[in-house]
Chain A
Amino acid sequence: MKQSKRALIWRFLKPYAWIFALTLALSMANTVLGSLTPQVVRVAVDSILGGEALPEVVTALLPASVTQARPMTQLLCAAAFLLAVAVLSGLCTYGSRMGTAKGSESFVKSLRDALYRHIQRLPYAWHVEHSTGEIIQRCTSDVEVVRNFVTNQLLEVCRTVFLVGFSLAVMFSMNWRTSLIALGFLPVILLYSAFFYSKIAKRFLTADEAEGELSAAVQENLTGVRVVRAFGREKFEVERFDKKNERFASLWIRLGRLMSAYWGIGDLITNLQILTVICVGVVQTVNGEITLGEFLAFVSYNQSLVWPVRGLGRILSEMSKAGVSIDRLAYILDSEPEQEPENAQTPPMDQDIVFDHVSFSYGEQSVLRDVSFTIEAGKTFAILGGTGSGKSTLMHLLDRLYDLPPESGSITVGGVDISQISRPYLRRSIGMVLQEPFLFSRSIRENIAAVRPGASMEEIRRQAGTAHVDEAILEFSDGYDTIVGERGVTLSGGQKQRVAIARTLMQDAPVLIFDDSLSAVDAETDAQIRASLHDAKGSATVILISHRVTTLMQADRILVLQDGRVAELGTHEELLALGGIYRETYDIQTAAADRELLLEEEGGESDGNGI
């Protein structure tokens, strides 16, 4: 398990590993440069001001003109050296910060892209099983946690470990006894900080949840405002809100107490360590074991150590969260995407479609039972069935949104089993309009031209015209450039369906499926659309799913599906003569029923035409 986590991160990190390596190198260089300042101060204090001999390193590196110059000149040189170090260190800082930014942004981009791409490729069944909110949560929050882990926490840990190691090495080289004291405090500080943070983290979680609850309570009140007003429950609502609000505030106030203890005690330990080092250092300096300059350098190294170690404690306790997030992302990325069959075929699709003894179930629930029928090429085929009769499932199987498991019959087009046909080719050849179509939040034009982004305006308008939505679109103030969805205009159900029809027509597919896709359009417009579709369809095979008899009766053949079985199959006339479900539906929906009703209501007087 551990291995796979590391492998997952490495997969996305690898292309940018050199950036991170460079970043790390630069920040290490920065640490080394930073350690020079106390050394300069030390030399200045001991040798230039204190009159002791310059250390060998300095005399070896610098020309005699400097080492033997007057103290004032030497001071200026030291100052100049400090500035030079500052410039170098500034460049390193810039480099490592930019490296971190570039590396981390590239890493997170490739991770996001891979997630999105993978989600697009996952089978439809996977999408049905998982809630949108949860997947989004993973793709946003968890990605953020992983990014933080890789780019901040990992780097920070490396940096801090190096800083501590390097500073300690320098300190030990100067004076091992005081260094031991300084070192002794570090584990205490680290553990203290890690311990507290793991404690605080839990409280943070509860406090965050309380905020979520409060927010949900407010949202409910606002969305239910009519109910609140209608029952006159303002006071009750305020009392309920007060409870949650109070809880939220008091949880944070309690968290504040814990944090105050953490900060206060942490400061105290840190300062005690500094105090100890100063006192011991003073005694040693007075005893002549170290020079004054060394003492000063020592104190400043020590101080530069303490804070990163405290931070390290926090980071270590937070890093544990990353494991969970990586697992959650791995779950998505490891899900099996849709597979292409080997030697996928691309046979002509303007052929007969045959469902042969097809059975299908969603888990335990059986939906289709031994269904067999043929849809003749170029003809119009209609399906009638109640809710849950399995009519949409038939179409999902044909479009391979679901794959037919082995031993449950077969679906063939022109004799070729669709499981052997290339999936994109199959879907591109089948234009399917769904009952509740999804429009993307872009312009109407872009929505219609989704399958052919380069399509000309004339063509887009022609298809919109066929779907009888052109006029409605032109009535919007931005016409075809009107943005739909969240941030734009809300289309009515019927308008959406018609835009979706136009979008599917752009596909110019040899097979067209209308899955109850005119349900939100009134009967008259429905008829007009069907008429123009009839003219526009050309040689395409059309499959209609509908509740409206007026729609069904125009088909060459009609299938009545009941409880996953073929109940009736034939032409309009044949089915009428059969006197079954189709006949019943027909009778209810035709004008005869209206006449009867009016007779009953008005006591005999009627003109009988309906609408």
Chain B
Amino acid sequence: MAMGFDDQEYTKSFDWKSWKKLLPFLKPYRKLIFAVLALNVLCAVIDIAMPLFQRYAIDEFIETGDVAGLPGFAVLYACVITVQALAVIFFTRRSMRIEMSVGRDMKRACFVHLQTLSLSYYNVTPVGYLLSRIMSDTNRIAGMLAWSAVDILWAVFYVLGVFGAMLLLNPGLAAAVILIVPVISLLTAWFQERILRWNRRVRKMNSRITSAYNEGIMGARTSKTLVIEEQNCREFEAVTQDMRVSSVKAARLSAVYIPLVMFFSSLTTAIVLARGGWLVLEDLLLIGTLSAFTSYAVGIFEPIQQIARNIAEILSLQANIERVMGLLEQKPLITDTPEVIEKYGTAFEAKRENWEPIRGDIEFRDVTFRYPDGNEDVLSHFNLKIPAGSTIAIVGETGAGKSTLVNLACRFFEPTSGQVLIDGRDYRERSQLWLHSSIGYVLQSPHLFSGTVMENIRYGRLDATDEEVIAAAKAVSADQVAAKLEKGYDSDVGEGGDRLSTGEKQLISFARAVLADPRIFVLDEATSSIDTQTEQLIQQATELLLRDRTSFLIAHRLSTIRKADLILVVRDGAIVERGTHQELLRKKGYYRDLYLQQFREEQVRMA
């Protein structure tokens, strides 16, 4: 599956439809865009006028020997270059503003849309893939639109303007210069495509080198015990050798391309010199005009290359656009109906005044379920009534499908057929946010956000006062975690809570759930070994949280399992046994095996 998300898929044919999707993002900035275009045209006009100053100086001052007009000339020249400088300043500012604003808007659109997509989408999509859609692709699109597209416009204007100027000055000589243009364009297009391709290869090689370093360092202990350092070095050297060969090949393309273009540039100069010189000799051309022509002939090359180069780059932008738009057009699996949104609001604008209070009765009525990417039913015609306040433990081996019921109850997935009722009504009649606001969730590998301990607990209820946060922390002994940290509740927990141990993270996420005071509580117990002291704290916290709430426990600890009102035993995706602890033990079935195994493992951990 990971292969499907490999980057660099490359669409070749130009598709106007993809490009049109960008228009809504550009529209708010159309005034800025027009200003940038106008400033660029101005710049192009000035650039075209520059050689004419030199021509005037030669023809009017030097050839006539009269310098009376020189001060006026200098002032005018100075004015023009000042205007040009101002145009550059204004244009750069606006282009930057466009780039960053369009990029910002696109990022926002992606981010907001991702908040509405179903969890099933996240299950099959690597985070890195999404991240590069939001960051790199939007950056590239915005950057290319604000700069490269504008550069093309400038270059086209400049080239056309120079053509016009040359044709006005001397049509015959102009024709000679213009004839070179298609040659350069074709040459650039041909090379550009290959250079881009090789550069992509070099980039890929580069990431291979990075992951080789990664392996070399992460696997250092293993390499040492196996004594395979020498072999690793040889393999690494093969990769860097590949890199060297590819890079040199990529460089060779430019090393051929650039002299070729330069040669054609010189060829044009030579033609202008020979043909123009002859015209001067015949008195058909002024020498200043010849000098202006030479400047044009040389000056036109860079813009032509720029056009060809930028066109190739912009065409490759289509892939980025398609990826971003693909993300934005991804349909959420679970949506609220318009009627529900009308009454209860959306995830971003809730109409809390219309929300009914939630008691916590949950009923599965004739539920059949199959995962969107699965090919068999994991539940069929399943019925279960959970009165408010009761505790349901779900046990089974890793990967047996213990989360399915929780996913359904929390409406992270919806039943394929049948209904889930909350307080007697199908939960699809209420908004997702209504339900989610009443759920407390503590994950096996608890996720914290970077920020302080205080901020993380407050995530459970955003308007809680500091005192309420601290009270919640105390209730589950998370205050002991804070106390151990340098700055107490104001200590930074690091990215994803990295600076805390799993047990500590768990306690903080308990506090977060307590603060939320949910009617429904879901706990996915940790299996990883936690030191005995923390383990006890966690058990106490769990008991506190379970009190008076409807709870689902994906249970590993014997104490929690034993105390549950109902135990569901899951094997290979199906519920194979259900009952209380006593009933199930008496049955001498799969549960009993699991229970004994669990018992032994827990003892080993304590040892």
Contact = CB atoms under 8 A, between A and B. Distances in A.
Interface stretch (B359-367, B475-483, B484-492, B592-600): B592-600
A452 to B, nearest CB: 10
A424 B229 CA distance: 10
A586 B170 CA distance: 104
B573 interface: no
A74 to B, nearest CB: 9
B10 interface: no
B58 interface: yes
Contact of A221 (B84, B111, B348, B581): B111
A109 B240 contact: yes
Nearest to A111: B240
B50 to A, nearest CB: 8
Contacts of B606: 588
Contacts of A214: 107, 135
B324 to A, nearest CB: 14
A231 B54 contact: no
Contacts of A611: 593, 596-597
A37 B274 CA distance: 14
B447 A264 contact: no
B96 to A, nearest CB: 3
A268 B85 contact: yes
A518 interface: no
Contact of A598 (B95, B104, B232, B585): B585
B604 A119 contact: no
B291 A296 contact: yes
Contacts of A279: 70, 73-74
A112 B89 contact: no
A282 B70 contact: yes
Contact of B277 (A48, A229, A285, A588): A48
B569 to A, nearest CB: 16
Nearest to A401: B224
Given A90-B259, A438-B218, A136 B100 contact: no
Contact of B96 (A216, A241, A253): A253
Contacts of B436: 229-232
Contact of A94 (B77, B240, B256, B348): B256
Interface string A379-396: 000000011000000000
Interface in B553-607: 581-582, 585-586, 588, 593, 596-597, 599-600, 603-604, 606-607
B274 A78 contact: yes
A257 B443 contact: no
Contacts of A331: none
B260 interface: yes
Contacts of B464: none
Contact of A256 (B61, B81, B86, B93): B93
A122 B410 CA distance: 51
A80 interface: yes
B103 A105 contact: no
Contacts of B22: none
B214 A132 contact: yes
Interface stretch (B261-269, B373-381, B414-422, B543-551): B261-269
A501 B68 CA distance: 95
B111 A218 contact: yes
A83 B258 CA distance: 16
B85 A87 contact: no
Select the residue from B255, B270, B604 with max chain A CB neighbours within 10 A.
B270
A601 B582 contact: yes
Contacts of B396: none
Interface in A123-150: 124, 127, 132, 135-136, 139-140
A471 interface: no
Interface of A is mostly: helix
A520 B116 CA distance: 38
A222 B460 contact: no
A120 interface: yes
B226 interface: yes
A261 B85 CA distance: 9
A256 B96 contact: yes
Interface string A220-263: 11111111111111111110011001101110110111011101
B222 to A, nearest CB: 4
A122 B115 CA distance: 46
A136 B210 contact: yes
A54 B210 CA distance: 62
Nearest to B495: A216
B255 A94 contact: yes
A340 to B, nearest CB: 13
Contacts of A85: 266
Contact of B58 (A78, A292, A486, A523): A292
B287 A232 contact: no
A610 B596 contact: yes
B130 A222 contact: yes
Given A94-B255, A140-B210, A260-B92, A547 B604 contact: yes
A249 B266 contact: no
B89 A292 contact: no
Contact of B216 (A89, A120, A387, A588): A120
Contacts, number: 390
A238 B220 contact: no
Given A231-B516, A438-B219, A503-B226, A275 B78 contact: yes
A37 B217 contact: no
B175 interface: no
Select the residue from B74, B127, B224 with max chain A CB neighbours within 10 A.
B224
A350 B599 CA distance: 40
Interface string B283-315: 000010001001000000000000000000000
B604 to A, nearest CB: 5
B88 A76 contact: no
A224 B63 CA distance: 77
Contacts of A523: 597, 600
B227 A451 contact: yes
A278 B54 contact: yes
Interface string B203-227: 0001001111111111111111111
B336 to A, nearest CB: 13
A474 interface: no
A232 B345 CA distance: 13
Interface in A405-455: 424, 427-428, 430, 432, 434, 437-438, 440-441, 450-451, 453
B251 interface: yes
Contacts of B349: 235
Contacts of B85: 264-265, 267-268, 271
Given A218-B134, A238-B112, A602-B582, A105 B247 contact: yes
10 contacts: A82-B270, A83-B270, A113-B237, A227-B441, A230-B522, A232-B436, A236-B459, A238-B348, A286-B65, A607-B588
The 7 A-B residue pairs whose C-beta atoms are closest, nearest first, are: A256-B96, A101-B251, A86-B266, A90-B259, A230-B441, A260-B92, A264-B89
Interface of A: 37, 40-41, 44-45, 48-49, 71-72, 75-76, 78-80, 82-83, 85-87, 89-91, 93-94, 97-98, 100-102, 105-106, 109, 112-113, 116-117, 119-122, 124, 127, 132, 135-136, 139-140, 211, 214-216, 218-238, 241-242, 245-246, 248-250, 252-253, 255-257, 259-261, 263-265, 267-268, 271-272, 275, 278-279, 282-283, 285-286, 292, 295-296, 299, 386-387, 399, 401, 424, 427-428, 430, 432, 434, 437-438, 440-441, 450-451, 453, 486-487, 503-504, 507, 523, 547-548, 584-585, 588-589, 593-594, 597-598, 601-602, 607, 610-611
Interface of B: 2, 53-54, 57-58, 61-63, 65-67, 70, 73-74, 77-78, 81-82, 84-86, 88-93, 95-97, 99-101, 103-104, 107-108, 111-112, 114-116, 119, 122, 127, 130-131, 134-135, 206, 209-229, 231-233, 236-237, 240-241, 243-244, 247-248, 251-252, 254-256, 258-260, 262-263, 265-267, 269-271, 273-274, 277-278, 280-281, 287, 291, 294, 347-350, 410, 412, 432-433, 436-437, 439-441, 443, 447, 449-450, 459-460, 462, 495-496, 509, 512, 516, 522, 529, 581-582, 585-586, 588, 593, 596-597, 599-600, 603-604, 606-607
